[in-house]
Structure 1
Amino acid sequence: MKLHSIAIQEFKQFGGRLVIDDLQPGLNLFTGPNEAGKSTIAEAVRAVFLERYKASHLKDLLPWGKASGQPSVEVSFDLDGTACTLSKQFVTRQRCELKIGQTAFGEDEAEDKLAALLGFSRAARGPLKAENAGVPGLLWVQQGGTQEVRDSTGHAVQYLRDALTQLSGGSESAGEDALIAAVQRELRQLLTARTQKSTGPLAEAEQNLARLTEERDALEQQRRQFEENIARLAALQEAFDDTQHKRPWELHEQKAALAQQRADAAAELERGLQQLAQSLQVSEAELALSLQQEQSALELEAAVTRDRQQLDAARAAVSAAQIEHADATASVTQFEQASNDANRALELANAAVTAADLRSQIGLLRAENERLDAAIADASKANDAVLAATRDAAALEIDEAKLKRLAKLASELSVLRARTEAAMTRIEYRLNSTITVDDAQVSGDGVLRLEGEKRIGLGALGELRVIPGVSNLPAQLSELASLEAQQSQLLQALGVASLGEGESRHEQWKALVAQQKSQAKILEVHAPQGIEALRAASATAAARMDASNERLAGLPDVSAAPPLDEARRNAEIARDALEAARKVLAQAAEKRSTGMATEESLAAQLQRKEAQLSGAAFCRNRAQWQAKIVEQRVQVDAVRKQREGRERELEAARLDDPAAEAKRYRASAELARGEQNERQVKIAGLRSQLETVGASGLGERLAAVEAKVEQATRRKEELGLRASALSLLDEVLVDERDAAVAQLRAPLTERLGHYLKRIFPQSAIALGDDLSPATLERDGRADTLDALSFGTREQLGILTRLAYADLLKASGRPTLLMLDDAAVHTDAARRDAIKRALIDAATRHQILVFTCHPELWDDLGVRQRAIDDLKVAA
C-alpha cells in the first residue's frame, strides 16, 4: 500500500484546504513546530481510513471557530498495483466513497471493504476503540504512544497469527485442538481462565460451606455469649447494689455547693475591684488637673523673673540712647494728607471685607447651630461642667496666629511711634495771650510737635510760617499710618480693642480649654458613651455666632467703602509717592526709640504677668489647688493600696478556680448517677436476653448445623480434586501446543532480531501469547518491558513495529507506517541506529515521519517537507 496524496479541508486547525501530494514510496519526513498541524495530518489519515463517516462523536473535527464547517479528507493510494481513491466527509452531509480501480464502493460497503483490506474491525457504534484498530492501530503511532506496544499488539494479534500461519506453513489450530478445548471447557466450569478462581459448582460448594461454617460459628458465638452474659449479669448486679449503698453522687453535690459558694465570693471581690479601679481612674484624673494648674503657675513665676531681667537691661539701653539723641533732628514730609486719606479708605475697605466675611460666617454658623439643635432635641441633658467650659471657651476663642501677628505689629508700632516723635520738631511755649496754629487757638504752656509746615498767627504782630528741615519724617508717618491700619484691621478681625485684651482673652481661653479637656476626661470615665461632644459643638457654634454678631455690630458703616483692591492700590500709590521723599531715620533716634519701645513693651508685659500672679482670685485658686494636690495624692495612694489588697484577695480566691471545681463536682455527680442508671438498664437487658436465648434451643440447632458443615466439606473436596486434575491435564496439553507455536513464531522472531541487533547486540526479545514483547534478554538477565527506561521502551516500540510490518508485508497485507514525534527520548547514538533501521524498512514500506526537531533528522537523505510551507502553498 502506497499513499500518493492527502487532501484535507476544514479539518480542525485547517480552516481551508491543504493538499499533500508527491508522497514517496519510501520515507517521507514532515517537520514543523508545536501546533503547526503535524498531528492533525496524522489524525486526518486515521479518520479517513478508520472512523465511521456517520459517527456523531466527530464534532471535534470541525474547523476551529467555524461551527458550520464540513470536515473532509481524500486520499489516493496504490493497493497491489491498483489505483485507489478514498474520500469521506464528516459531521454535516456525511458521505463515504471508495474506488478500487474501476470499482466503486459507497457508504457502509466502502467501510467494510476498508476494514477487510487494512486489517481492522468496525465499531458497532460510537468512536473507534483501540481493540478495533487492528493493524493500523499497531503501525500508525500517535504522538506520545511509541512506547505502548503491548496493547496495540494484542489488538492486532489475530492478524499477526494469520500472517505467521501463512508464512510458517503450519496450522494455527495445531496447538488448540478439540481435546484442549474440551478440557478447558470442563476446567472453566470449576476455575476461571485468568485468575484461576473458583466458579460454577465449585464456587457454589465453597460458598455453601462458608455459609454453613459462618452459621455454625455464629451459633457457637451465641453459646459463648450466653455464658459470658450470665457472668456479666452477676458482676453488674453486685456493682449496682454496692453503688446504691454508697451513693457517691451525693458527696460530689455537696462539694459542688461549697465550691460554688467560693466562686460567688470571688465574683463579688472582682466587682468590688472594678469599682475601685474606676474610682482610682477618676482620682488620678482630678490630681492630673490640679498638677497641671500648679505647673502653669510655676511657669508664670519663671516668666516674671525673666521679664524683670530683660526690663532692667532695656532701661539701661534707653538711658544710653537718650544721651546720643540730643543732636538728632527731624525732617519734614509732604503728601501726608493724601496718604492719610488713602489709608483711611483702605481701612474702610478692609472693614467691608471683614463684614462680608462675618456675614458669611454667621450664615454658616446659624445653619450649623440649627442642625446641632435639631440633633440635641432628642438627647438627654449633658454634664453641666463640660457644657459651661465649652461655652466659655467658644466665646473667648481667638485666632492664635493673628494674635501673634498683632503682638509683633504692636512692637513695631511702639518703636515706629518713638522714632516719629523723635523726628518731629518740638516747640515749647509759655504764652500770656492766645495765638493760632493753623487757625487753631493755642494759649498757656505746652509743646507743639510739628510733623510738617505750620502757620502760627501772632495777632497784630503778624504770623510765623514754621517749615521743618528735610528729614525722613514723611516716610515714617506713612509707614506708621500703614501699620496702624494693619493693627486696626487685625483688632477688628480678632474682635478686641487692644493687644492686652487679646492676650488676656487668649490666656483665659487656654485655661478654659485645659479645664474643658480635663473635665471631658473625667466625663469619659463616668459616661464614655455620652453625647456631650454634640452639645459642646452646639455651644461652640452658638458662641461663635454671638461673637461674630458682636464683631459685625462693632464695625463702622461700610456702605461707602471702595473696593479693597482699588483702595489698596491707591494706598500703595500714595505710600510710594510719600516714601520717595523720606530719608533714613538718624541712628541715635532709632536707637533711643527702639529702646524706649522695648522698655515700654517689657514693662507692660511684666505688669500684666505680675498683676495676674498677684491677683486675689489667682492666689486664692492656687492655694485651693495646692491643698487639693495634697489631699488628692493621699486619696490616690489610699485607693491604690485598697485596690492592690483586693487584687491579692481575688488572686488567692481564684487560685484553685472554684467555678471550675464546682462544675467538675457537678459533672462527677451526673456521671455517677448516669453510670448507676446504665447499670440498671444493662441488668434488665441482660435478664431479658438470657431468658430469650434460654428458651430458643441453642444446643440442638448447633448440632444440626455441624452435621451440614461436614457434608458440605466433603462436596467441596470432591470438586477441588476434579479441578486439580483438569488443571494438570491442561498444563500438559498447553506445553505441547507451545512447542508447536514456537515453530510458528520463527518468522517474527527472525525479523525482530534483524532490527534489534542495531541497538542491542547479543540480545533477544521473548514474546508473549499475544505476540507482544514480554522481556528483553541481554547480558545474562531478562528485563520486563515495565522495568526498562522510557527511552528504551520507545526504541523497542519503533523496532518491533518495523518487524511486524515486515511480517505483514510478507504475508500480503498492506502496510503503511506513521510515526508522530517518535524517538524524542532517544540519545544521539541510538537515534542514528533508529534512522538506519527506518532507511532499511523504507525499502519495503512507505513510512510517514512527523517531527518538531528537523535538525535531528536532516541526515536521512530525503527531502524535509515543512508544514508551514504546505499551508502557504494551499
Structure 2
Amino acid sequence: MKLERIAIQEFKQFAGRIVIDDLEPGLNLFVGPNEAGKSTIAEAVRVVFLERYKASHLKDLLPWGKASGQPSVEVSFNLDGTACRLSKQFVTRQRCELTIGQSVFGEDEAEDKLAALLGFSRAARGPLKAENAGVPGLLWVQQGGTQEMRDSTGHAAQYLRDALSQLSGSNESAGEDALIVAVQRELRQLLTARTQKSTGPLAEAEQTLAGLTEDRDELEQQRLQFEENIARLATQQETFEDTERKRPWELHEQKAVLAQQRAEAAAELERGLEGLVHALKLGEAELALSLQQEQNAVELESTVARERQQLDLARAGVASIQAEYAQAAANVTQFEQASVAADRALDLANAAVTAADLRNQIGLYETESQRLEVAIQAAGQANEAVLEAARAAAAVEIDETKLKQLATLDGELTVLRARTEAAMTRIEYKLTGALSVNETTVSGDGVLRVDEEKLIGLGELGELRVIPGVSDLSAQLTELASLEAQHTQLLQALGVASLVEGELRREQWKTLVAQQKSHAGILKVHAPQGIDALRAALASAAARWQASNDRLKNLPDVSAAPPLDEARRNAGIARDALEAARKLLSLATEKRSTGVANAESLAVQLQRKEAQLSDETFCRNRAQWQTKIVEQRVQVDAQRKQHEARERELQAARLDDPVAEAKRYRASADLARGEQHQRQLRIAELRSQLETVGASGLGERLAALEARVEQATRRKEELSLRAGALSLLDEVLVDERDSAVAQLRAPLTERLGYYLRRIFPQSTIALGDDLSPATLDRYGRADTLDALSFGTREQLGILTRLAYADLLKASGRPTLLMLDDAAVHTDATRRDAIKRALLDAATRHQILVFTCHPELWDDLGVRQRAIDDLKVAV
C-alpha cells in the first residue's frame, strides 16, 4: 500500500486546505516546530481510514475558531498496482466514498471494505477503541507511544497469527485451542488463572471445611477448658481451706504493730535531736558575735597606728605644695602683664585695618549716591508718563463684554430688519389729492408700509381695507422692537452712538493701555521696587557715608601700628602662655586645697578613733567579752559532742526504716486477705461455669460436628483431585500447542533478530502468546520490557514494528508505517542504527516520519518537507 496524495480541509488547526502530493514510495520525512501541524496530518490519515464518518464524537475535528466548518480528508493510494481513492467528510453533511479501480463503495460498505483490507475492526458505536485498531494501531505510532508495544501488538495478534500461518505453512489447530479453552474453563471454576487459588465449588468446600473445623476446634477447646476448670476448682478449694487454717494476715498485722512502735521511738529521738541542733546553732552564733567584737577592736588598734603614720606624711606634703603654689602665682602675674601689652598692640593693628576699610566704604557710598540720584530722576519721568497714560485710558475705557453683546445684537437686528422689511406690504403712492389712512391724512409722494391692518379712505369712491399677507409679521415687529430697545440701552450704557464708534473707542483704549504698560516697564527698570525705595536707598547710602566718616575720625593714631598678622601672633603667644600659667596655678591651688583637706580629715579621724580606744566603757566591755569568749567555747564544744551522740543513736534506730516496715506488713496483710477473698470468688465462678457447661450436652455436640467435618473433608478432596487432573490436562495441552506455536513464530523471530542485531548484537527477544515482545536476553540475562529504560523500549518499539511490517508484507497484507516524533530519547549512535533500519525497511514499505528535530534527520538522503511550506503552497 502506497499513499500518493493527502488533501485535508477545515481540519483542526488547518482552517483552509492543505494538499500533500508526490509522496515517495519509501521514506517520507515531514518536519516542523511544535504545533506546526505534524501530528494533525498523522491524525487526519488515521481518522480517514479508521473512524466512522457518521460518528458524533468527531466535533473536535472542527477548525479552531470556526464552529460551522466541514472537516474533510481525501487520500489517494495504490494497492497492489490498483489506484484507489478514499474521501470522508465529518460532523456536517457526512459522506464516505471509496474507489478501488473501477469499483465504487459508499458509506458503511466502504468502511467495511477498508477494515477488511487494512486489518482492523469497526467500532459498533462511539470512537474507535484501541482493541479495534488492529494492524494500523500497531504500525501507525502516535506521538509519545513508540515505547508502548504490548497492547497494540495484542490487538493485532489475530492478524499476525494469520500472516504467520501463511508463511510457516503450519496448520494451527483451532480445535486444540477450543479444547484448551474448554479445559481451562472447567479449571477456572475450581482454580484462578494467575494465582492458582481455589475458587467456585472448591473454594466453597474449603470454606465449609474450614468453618466446620473451626467450630469443632472451638468445641474441643471448650471440652478441654471444662476438664481444666474441674482440676483448677479442686486446687483452688484446697488452697482456700489451707489458707483459712494458717491465716497469714494476722502474723503480718502483729509485725506491723511492732514496727510502728519502733517508728514512734525513732520520731521521739529525732525531735530531741532537733532541740540540740537549735541550741548548738544559738551557742555558735553567740560565740561568733563575741569573736567578731574582739576582731573589730584589734582592727581598730591597727587602723589608729596606720592612720597616725599617714597624718605625718600628709603634713609634710602640704608644706611642699605651698611652695609650688607661691611660684605658680608669681608666674601668672608676669604673664598677665605681657598679655595686656600684646592686646594693646593688636587693638592698634585692628584700628589701622578698620581705618582702611572705612575709607573704601566712604568711596563706595559716594558712588552709590550719585547712581541713585540719576535713577530717581529717570523714574520720576517714567512715572509721570504712566500716570498720564492711565488717565487717558480711563477716559476712553469701554466694557468689552457689553461691546460684544452690542455686536451680536446689531447682527441680529440687521437680519430681523431685512426679514421684516421683506415681509411687510409696501405701497408707493403719488397723490394729487389727499387720502385718509386709519384716519390719518396722506398726500404727495411716499411709501406706505403695511405692517398691520390699515383702512384707506377713498372719499366718494369708498374705502380699502389692506391686510398684511404674512401671518407672523406682528410677532416679528414685536421682536424687532424688543431688540431695538435692547440695542438703544446698550448704546447708552457704553456711551457711544453706534457700534463703529464703540469699536473705535475700544482700539483707542487698547493703545493707551499698551502705552501705560510700556512706561510701567521703563519705570520698573529704573525702580524695580518703586521711587520711594530709591529715595530710601539714597538716604541710607548718605547715612552710611556719614557714619563711616564719623567712625574714621574717632579712630586713634595708627601711624605706629604693627602689621596685623604679627600683632595677632604675638597676642596669641601671650594668651597661650598666660593660659598655661593659670592652669598650673589652678592645679597648684587644687593640690594645696586637697592636701590641706586630707591632712585635716586624717587628723579628725585619728582623734575620733583614739578617743574610742581610750573610752572607759569600751575598755570595760572589751574585758567582759574576752572572758565570755572562753566560756562560750567550752559550752559549744559540749553541745557538739552531745549532738553527735544523739545523731548516732538516731541512725541506729532508722537503720531498718520502721515506718516502711510497718507499711509493708500492713500491705502484706491486706494482700493476703484480698487474695483469700478473690480465691473464694473464683471458686464460686468455676462452680457456676462447670454447672452450665455440664448441662449443655458438650459431648453430643462434639460427636455430631466430627461427623460433618469428615463429610466436608471428603467433598474437598474430591474437588481438589478434579482440579489437579484438569491442571495436568491443561499443562499437557498447552505444551503441545506451544510447540506448534514455536514453529509458527519462526518467521517473526527471524525478522526480529534481523533488526535487533543492528542495536543489540548477540541478543535475542522472546515473544508472548500475543506475539508481543516479552523479554530481552542480553549477555545471558533476561529483562522484561518494564525493566528496560524508556529509550531502550522506544528503540525496540521502532524495530519490532518494522519486523511486523515485513511479516505482514510477506503474507500479502498492505503495510504503511507512520512514526510521529519517534526516537526522541535515543542517543546519536543508536539513532544512526535506527536510520539504517528505516532506510532498509523503506525499500519494502512506505514510511511517514514526523519530527520537530530536522537537524537530527538531515543525513538520510531524503527530502525534508516543511509543514509551513505545505501551508504556503496551498
With normalisation by structure 1, the TM-score equals 0.49
- The structure whose Rg is larger is 2
With normalisation by structure 2, the TM-score equals 0.49
